[in-house]
Each structure stands twice: as structure tokens, then as C-alpha cells.
Amino acid sequence: MSEVKRVAVTGARGFIGNVLCAALAARGVSILALLREAQDGPWDEALLHKLGSGPIHHDFSGIDVVYHLAGYAHATDDSGGEESAYERTNVRGTQEVMQAAIAGGVRRVIVFSSVKAMGEGAPVCLDECAPCRPVTAYGRSKRAAELAALEMAAGTVTDVVVLRLPLVHGTGQKGNLTRMFKALAARRLPPLAAAGNRRSMVHVDDVTDAALRVGGCACAGGEIYIVAPSQAYSTAEIDAIMRDALGRARARWRLPVAWLKPAALIGDVIGRLWGRSPFDSQALARLTESAWYSGAKLAEHTGWQARRSLRDTFTDIVRQEQMCATSGSRTAGS
């Protein structure tokens, strides 16, 4: 990072963006944050822009690297309306960022993508050579954004690095993993029998390290990297890690996965009728299917290696909750 003096970060207030900006600021890097609305943070300048709304009216001259994290990833269905929203924010938004970067002579744009651009469910470990067969609107939009960025950079002074992320964990993360942990903590989730699946997950600190490395690595230009540790987890292993963090004994019995299939089918019907279901076939797939990826290429090119595990995350979450509870008790007693 010694040659990177000034950067722009889209999605700076997001889960990953917030950690990345803090790490950049700690290294003395000047940060321009692209935000949807004004917010304070560890940056030197803020620019308000809604991705997909049109050109970015700002001169990017003097910026060394753009970290493009912002995107649309919150919907749960593939309806036509959602497909349009993904295309507008993820694809057109990426094109807007690329146009501004190229016009400003930015050396490198790092596009944060997803392994969903490749697809999921394969029982083997996939690397960057695997064919891309995205099966969701989100995955299709991320793949289209990757291609758009790489094509726009061709023949310009700007190069692109794509980082494909699996599920990212850490304190403050919101999503299926956190919901699973809360359900287990509330004793609403039965222990599941081993499904033989493997799921790649990466800590937000390790994602930040990967982003910093490719930001200053000359050989990374034009490359696509999967950011995944060598360790992958089965659902049963995730359950055990969560129970250990909560200080609970390992389960002596496990619910057969086959018993959940009728409940998932009922959930599908509920979702079609009322628009939402707490448990459906998609949720079952996340519990039982594989999403297994290799980060060997990133490690070979940059020396990156994961340093934090899923166990670290849930240990940190429990410790944080205990500290908050202790602080609340002291406040109430004062």
C-alpha cells in the first residue's frame, strides 16, 4: 500500500466498507467515500451518489484505487421487479463507477463481486476456472457487472481486479448466519444431522487484507480472485462452533435432514401466497448444499492467507454481548 495515497470507496458505510475504510485510514490513506446519504466515518471527503441514477459528477483525478463495494443484495426472490433492481444498481452502477474512474485516469478499480456469479450447489471445490452459471438474479447481475468492468477497462490506463466473496462473517454482520446463531441461542433451532456439505466463509478482516493486497499488487491487474480460506464448514460443524461459543454441550441427537423437506415445501407454498416464509426450499438449500471455493490463486499471487476463523467470529459476538450486558447492569445499578 506504500504507493497508494488516495482512494475512493463506494459502499463505505456497509459491513465490509466500514472495516476497509478504518484499515485504510490507519495506514494514512486519504479516502473519498461515495455514499447514498451524508454520514460520518473514517474518510476525508464524502460524495453523495445513488448508484444507477446516472453519471458520477466528480473528478477522480489523483485517485490511485477505487474500491467498489456498493450494490444491491437484500432481496430474496427472482421476480421481474427484483431483476430490474439488481441490474440498475449492480450493473449500471458499476458502469458509472468505471466511467468516472477511467475519465480520471485511476490506476485500478477493485470490483467486489460474489461467488454467486459462478453459482452454488456443486459438491466439489470450485476455482476461478469453473464455468459461471449463476442461478439467481443477484448472481446474474454480479457476473454482468464483472464483465462490464473488465470490458470497459480494456485499452485504458485503468485496470480491474475482481474479488469474488463467499459468505463474509464478523461482528456486525447481518444475514442468514446471524439469524441461525440467534435461533440457536434462543433454542429454536434443532441440531441437524450431517449433510456432507461444505461451505466457504471468510472473515471481514481477511477480506480487507485481500483488498489491500490487490490494491498495491502489480500482477493483480485484470485478474479475478476468489477470496476463500482453505477451511470450509459443514452445517454440523457450524452448529458445533456456535454451541461452543454459547458454552453449551454438543447435541446428543440430530434431526434428519429428510424431515425438513416437507416443512420446506410448506414454506414454499406460504411464500407464494403471502410473499414471505421463515423456512422454505432456499433456506433448506443453504443448510444442506455446498458452496465450496478455492482461494489458492489469490494466495499464490499475493501471499494472502486467512487468519481468522468462524470460531473467532462467534466467540467475539458472545464476548461483545456479555460486555454490553455487563455495561447495562452497571448503568441500571448506578
User: Tell me, what's the pLDDT at 331?
Assistant: 55
Taking the chain (334 residues) in consecutive chunks of 10 residues, what is each chunk's mean pLDDT?
87 96 96 94 94 94 97 62 87 98 97 94 91 93 98 97 97 84 85 83 98 93 97 91 90 78 84 76 80 96 96 92 65 56
Classify 197 as helix, strand or coil. coil
252 domain residue, yes or no: no
255 domain residue, yes or no: no
Contacts of residue 184, defined as CB under 8 A and 6 or more positions apart, other chains included, come to 239, 242, 243, 246
User: Tell me, what's the pLDDT at 291?
Assistant: 92
90 domain residue, yes or no: yes
Domain count along the chain: 1
User: Tell me, what's the pLDDT at 79?
Assistant: 47
176 domain residue, yes or no: no
User: Tell me, what's the pLDDT at 74?
Assistant: 61
DSSP 126: B
51 domain residue, yes or no: yes
36 domain residue, yes or no: yes
243 domain residue, yes or no: no
**Please, where are the H alpha helices in 88-234?**
93-103, 137-153, 176-185, 204-215
268 domain residue, yes or no: no
Enclosing domain of residue 212: 6-170+199-228+290-313
Q: Are 136 and 116 in contact (CB under 8 A)?
A: yes
Cα angle 37, 38, 42; round to 5: 120
CA distance readout (Å), 329 to 47, 54, 247, 332: 41, 50, 21, 5
Q: Are 228 and 198 in contact (CB under 8 A)?
A: no
Contacts of residue 213, defined as CB under 8 A and 6 or more positions apart, other chains included, come to 220, 302, 303, 304
Which grid coordinates belong to 31?
A: 479516502
User: Tell me, what's the pLDDT at 178?
Assistant: 85
Short-list 312, 313, 254, CA closest to 287: 254
CATH of the domain at 19: 3.40.50.720
